[in-house]
A and B are shown apart, each in its own frame.
Chain A
């Protein structure tokens, strides 16, 4: 069970493709930094491969003016939530 960190906007579509190739059935994806833009409903298709196991970092949403625009299917977590995800997932890989 891996935690995947992604920090690129949906514009960097190749990273999303590589990540989806590597994503396991019980893995979790956390969107941080510019990947927050993938949390918008318009980017829904891009996240299909991740089976609803997607979270997004709240403070990065806030700074980008995205609160209130996030797809309801995506869990919003604060830094403590980010930490908690790393606690429960023994391995974490970063995609960039």
Chain B
């Protein structure tokens, strides 16, 4: 797995950091909603999946037992909204026994150093 270096990172207008997994709470859904709306309003939006947020990208997710849609349908729409800068914490993946091959979208894994650098260069960041 080749990690992205800090110097490769291009600042967006808004970075949304997603730290919560799907289904268990509404945080992930609400964070993605903000990202999509900002993108629809013409902002360049990047997503950083950190901690349990990496589970948002896990292959094989389904609707909940009471028909809750989950967030994977929205994530499939990211490209349509021109949201292409997708980063994940490499440490978060490793700690969870995951690799980028387990994920539904192409992402750039970041070292801790690169995550910190990413936080510094974005004009706006929201954490969900």
A–B contact at 8 Å CB threshold (below): yes
What's the nearest-Cβ distance from chain A to residue B45, in Å?
16
Interface size on B, as a range, is 20 to 34
Segment at the A interface, from B33-41, B56-64, B68-76, B118-126: B118-126
The A interface, classified by DSSP as helix, strand, loop or mixed, is mixed
- A contact residues around B17 at 8 Å (CB): 22, 93
Instruction: Report whether B120 and A24 are in contact in the complex, using a CB–CB cutoff of 8 Å.
Output: yes
Q: Count residues of A near B (Cβ-Cβ below 8 Å).
A: 16
Within 8 A of A (CB), among B1-44: 17, 19
> Is A82's beta carbon under 8 Å from chain B?
no
Number of A-B contacts (CB under 8 A): 43
What's the nearest-Cβ distance from chain B to residue A49, in Å?
10
Q: Which residues of B contact A (CB under 8 A)?
A: 17, 19, 50-52, 89, 91-92, 112, 115-120, 123-127
A18-B19, A94-B127 known, 7 other contacts, Cβ within 8 Å = A14-B52, A22-B50, A23-B116, A23-B119, A93-B119, A93-B127, A96-B127
Q: Which residues of A contact B (CB under 8 A)?
A: 1-2, 14-15, 17-18, 21-25, 91, 93-96
18 contacts between A and B (CB under 8 A): A1-B120, A2-B119, A14-B51, A14-B52, A18-B51, A18-B92, A21-B91, A21-B112, A21-B116, A22-B115, A22-B118, A23-B116, A23-B119, A24-B117, A24-B119, A91-B123, A93-B17, A93-B119
